[in-house]
Amino acid sequence: MLLRSYRTCRTRRSSRSSGSYGWAHKGAALCALCVLTLPLVAAEPSSAVHAPERLVRVGTEVVRLAREAGRLRQRYELRVRAAKDQRARDVWLTRQWAGQRFFTVALRRDAGAVARAQYRTGGFTAPGSAALAEEPLELLELQYQETDRRERLARMLIEADGRSRALTADRLSTTASLQALNEEAARLRVEKAAMEERLAKARSELNTMADMAIRSGRCTPVDLDGLQSEQEDTQDAANRPPEVSRSGWTRPLVSYELTAGFGGTGAHWANGHTGQDFAVPTGTPVRAVGGGTVVATGCGGSFGISVVIRHDGGWYSQYAHLSAPLMTPGRQVRAGEWIGLTGTTGNSTGPHLHFEVRTTANFGSAVDPVRWLRARGVEL
């Protein structure tokens, strides 16, 4: 287009020889403007060109935010459970304190009655008890019994007061602890909501970047080494280490909801569903179900971004509709190793993992993946 504008200028400039100077002058000015403007338009990069690099950045950010959100969620749930336990203890202590208070009040009433009776009867709690004694020894025995009763009442009252004070202190401590737990839970709830909002935005951006990467034809793998610390240091349910069966196989995801199964029919499948779908949020780490070699990574088509692994025995597993791959062909993987991040690329109506097991690397040889895993000691 630039060359065509230049030729037009040359043609209009030659028109001076025919006497059309005014027109040629205006045409030359217009051509000069085109020459100055067109390179700027042509040099403007398309956002799709930078999609692979942004995909790597956003994918890493989603994993980081998911890890932090998981930690906040765990801390919040721990505080909520602790507050529930403290609340139950506070109720129990209140009941114990009320019972002890009733017992202490009764003891004080009995002690007061004994003191008043002693004052009226000269040291005996029962009126006329001294007159019933026929011998001095009987009188001494009665005095001993009265003294023993007063001492027992005094000891019981001291112990009751001590238990009341202890229960009161325990109640105050429990109430203060409960208040602190409620305040911390409220703070963590706000932080968790803010983190989940950031995570939702990052996941939305990751979906956008994945679609743009597919349009550019460059689905660059996210740097697995950069995610290694995330993989080893994550404790939330979606990312905790998987359980590997004795035969060396595991689930492709840790926390999920099973949706469309093998052989299902519907508008999205021309000849029946060829795998098992796992509903999970975008950016959830996907794991290799067993050791093997990555033989292919897809970047478009009905499967969107996908990874295919060859296992021993001539079996192949495929992981489709990813938002970002973490592997390149030729990479050796072990059971449970991260190989991609879930997404909703390709023929997909929402974020999920489409998992297939095949007898060849090509489409059309799929077997029921749920039964296949069960035969290897893995239950979904």
Residues with Cβ within 8 Å of 354's Cβ and at least 6 positions away in sequence, in order, are: 275, 276, 277, 303, 318, 319, 320, 321, 348
Domain spans in the chain, listed from the N-terminal domain onward:
2-43, 51-213, 248-374
Burial grade of 82 (CB within 10 A; 0-12, 13-18, 19 or more) = middle
The pLDDT, as a whole number, for residue 319 is 98
Report the C-alpha gap between 292 and 250 in whole angstroms.
13
Provide the 10 A C-beta neighbour count for residue 76: 20
CATH architecture of 248-374: Distorted Sandwich (2.70)
The pLDDT, as a whole number, for residue 159 is 85
The pLDDT, as a whole number, for residue 33 is 40
Q: What is the pTM of this model?
A: 0.67
- Tokens 């009764």 correspond to 106
The pLDDT, as a whole number, for residue 164 is 87
In the beta sheet, which residues pair with residue 318? 308, 356
The pLDDT, as a whole number, for residue 242 is 65
CATH of domain 51-213: 1.10.287
Report the C-alpha gap between 71 and 62 in whole angstroms.
14
Mean pLDDT by 10 residues, the chain (380 residues): 40 41 43 40 46 76 90 94 94 90 81 67 51 53 64 82 89 94 96 96 94 88 62 51 81 93 74 91 95 94 95 96 93 94 94 96 89 94
The pLDDT, as a whole number, for residue 269 is 61
Q: What is the pLDDT of residues 149-208, one digit of tens each?
A: 777 878 888 888 888 889 999 999 999 999 999 999 999 999 999 999 999 999 999 999
Q: Tokens at residue 296, please?
A: 């292919």
* Ordered DSSP codes for 306-371: EEEEEETTTEEEEEEEEEEE---TT-EE-TT-EEEEEB--SS-SSSEEEEEEESSSSTT-EE-HHH
- Report which residue type is found at 192: K
